[in-house]
């Protein structure tokens, strides 16, 4: 879903009370949860280099509690397609309802939110239409400090089941991570692939940010999508595909979500045409759409060019084992491979608290152990989340399960 849609839906559910949850959102018109958008060339206030655009931003901390009269410090770090931090860029911060809280910009990438009274609102930040969110609870009983980051352990050997996160910075390739979902322009994809290959990683690649494949009204444009993919034609990708470094072409995010695509869902026939088009250029590159096999089964044809569906789990979907069993069965009926996913930063759905270290360890281990899962990818890399107490050890526990088994093929038959 787009963040603006999800924010509106969330705020509509809120009720007055003695405590308040303050959702800190870096605004954007597209969901970067899987396919980050490019910078907006029409915005002179936040214009980025078109050769190395800002493709994501991380807002810190991820969650805190703030007492009335208390203050919360924010810091946002934008990252370019090359994986480097765009620390010279200025973030725009503001607050939706100034009667509940007030925001004061303290630097190019920093701000302070002062919690004034009960109620719920959103503090907003923006850079090149990229966004991130932090949950802040405004409570009358006093606040609690944000967790102190723990040291990151030295990662070890990569596993045979690809395991990783969306938007992993290039300097963290390897170790516990054996895959990553990335958006990178053609100018920088070669460098990412080379780094991934040297670290034994397999990359799942997005070849078009959301803004690049939308019409002016926000609906999906197959013509624009193909034009975006065509930019990669001249690259020498064959060797990376053969060696498995270029592991999968991530075609599209949530095609059945009408609200994500200007009020009109993407037809299943269009998704299949996207997969066919990809195969016409790179026949040996597996294709996937982030849509559960149970949804993909609604197509009234047999999938021929699409290779894999995506089972993205959050706790609102019920028992993980039951959910996974149903999606594995649907994938088999449709002749599709299955990528497993965990909604790490929104553990129970949009704008909910992140998963705990215990949940990451338990859910990740269950998914990694399932023989039908051909890759396991979490939403998404966030240094604040990963540096919480116990989180890195939970990651390593899941990585151990991934190392202990052979990865299933994402291409069935």
CATH of the domain at 345: 3.20.20.80
**Residues 210 and 323 both lie in one domain:** yes
- Token pair of 301 as six digits: 């044809």
What letter does residue 140 receive in the DSSP assignment? T
Highest mean pLDDT among 61-70, 82-91, 95-104, 347-356: 347-356
Q: How far apart are CA 197 and CA 158, in angstroms?
A: 12
**Residues 122 and 169 both lie in one domain:** no
**Residues 65 and 212 both lie in one domain:** no
Look at the chain and count its residues.
413
pTM of the model: 0.68
**Residues 86 and 213 both lie in one domain:** no
**Residues 256 and 223 both lie in one domain:** yes
| Domain-embedded: residue 13 | no
pLDDT at residue number 36: 37
Looking at 91, 123, 139, the residue that finishes a domain is 139
pLDDT at residue number 64: 58
| Domain-embedded: residue 219 | yes
Element (H, E) at 226: helix 222-230
Lowest mean pLDDT among 9-13, 85-89, 205-209, 221-225: 9-13
pLDDT classification of 29: cutoffs 50, 70, 90: very low
**pLDDT at residue 56 greater than cutoff 80:** no
Residue 334 three-state SS: helix
**Residues 224 and 355 both lie in one domain:** yes
pLDDT classification of 249: cutoffs 50, 70, 90: very high
**pLDDT at residue 243 greater than cutoff 90:** yes
**Residues 106 and 176 both lie in one domain:** no
Q: How far apart are CA 230 and CA 278, in angstroms?
A: 9
| Domain-embedded: residue 118 | yes
Domain of 180, in residue numbers: 163-404
Q: How many domains does the chain have?
A: 2
pLDDT classification of 287: cutoffs 50, 70, 90: very high
pLDDT classification of 142: cutoffs 50, 70, 90: very low
When pLDDT is averaged across residues 66-76 and rounded to a whole number, the result is 76
Instruction: Quickly tell me which residue has 């605004």 as its tokens.
Output: 27
Q: How far apart are CA 312 and CA 346, in angstroms?
A: 11
pLDDT at residue number 37: 37
**pLDDT at residue 67 greater than cutoff 80:** no
Q: Long-range pairs for 326-332 at CB < 8 Å and ≥24 separation?
A: 326/294, 327/292, 327/293, 327/294, 328/293, 328/370, 328/372, 330/292, 330/293, 330/294, 330/296, 330/297, 331/293, 331/372, 331/412, 332/372, 332/412
Q: 336 — phi, psi (to 5°)?
A: -115, 150
**Residues 201 and 326 both lie in one domain:** yes
């Amino acid at each position: 879903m787009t963040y603006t849609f999800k924010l509106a839906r969330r705020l509509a559910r809120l009720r007055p009370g003695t405590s308040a949850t303050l959702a800190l959102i870096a605004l954007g018109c597209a969901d970067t949860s899987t396919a980050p958008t490019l910078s907006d060339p029409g915005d002179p206030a936040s214009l980025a280099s078109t050769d190395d655009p800002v493709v994501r931003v991380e807002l810190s901390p991820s969650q805190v509690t703030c007492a009335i009269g208390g203050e919360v410090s924010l810091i946002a770090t934008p990252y370019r397609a090359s994986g480097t931090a765009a620390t010279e860029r200025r973030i725009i911060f503001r607050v939706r309802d100034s009667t509940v809280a007030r925001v004061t910009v303290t630097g190019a990438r920093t701000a302070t939110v002062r919690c004034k009274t009960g109620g719920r609102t959103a503090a907003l930040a923006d850079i090149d239409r990229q966004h991130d969110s932090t949950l802040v609870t405004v409570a009358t009983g006093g606040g609690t400090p944000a967790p102190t980051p723990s040291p990151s352990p030295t990662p070890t050997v990569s596993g045979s089941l690809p395991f990783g996160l969306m938007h992993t910075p290039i300097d963290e390739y390897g170790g516990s991570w054996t895959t990553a979902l990335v958006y990178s322009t053609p100018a920088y994809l070669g460098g990412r692939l080379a780094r991934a290959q040297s670290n034994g990683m397999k990359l799942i690649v997005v070849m078009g940010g959301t803004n690049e494949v939308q019409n002016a009204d926000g609906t999906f444009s197959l013509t624009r999508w193909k034009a975006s993919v065509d930019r990669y034609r001249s690259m020498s990708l064959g060797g990376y595909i053969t060696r498995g470094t270029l592991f999968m072409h991530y075609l599209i995010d949530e095609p059945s979500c009408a609200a994500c695509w200007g009020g009109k869902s993407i037809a299943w026939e269009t998704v299949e045409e996207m997969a066919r088009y990809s195969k016409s250029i790179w026949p040996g590159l597996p294709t996937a759409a982030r849509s559960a096999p149970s949804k993909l089964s609604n197509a009234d044809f047999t999938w021929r060019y699409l290779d894999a569906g995506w089972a993205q789990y959050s706790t609102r979907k019920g028992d993980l084992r039951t959910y996974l069993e149903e999606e594995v069965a649907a994938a088999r009926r449709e002749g599709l491979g299955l990528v497993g996913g965990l909604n790490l930063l929104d553990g129970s759905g949009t704008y909910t608290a992140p998963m705990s270290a215990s949940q990451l360890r338990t859910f990740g281990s269950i998914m990694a152990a399932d023989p039908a899962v051909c890759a396991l990818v979490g939403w998404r890399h966030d240094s604040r989340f990963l540096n919480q107490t116990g989180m890195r050890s939970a990651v390593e526990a899941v990585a151990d399960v991934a190392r202990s088994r052979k990865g299933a093929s994402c291409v069935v038959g």
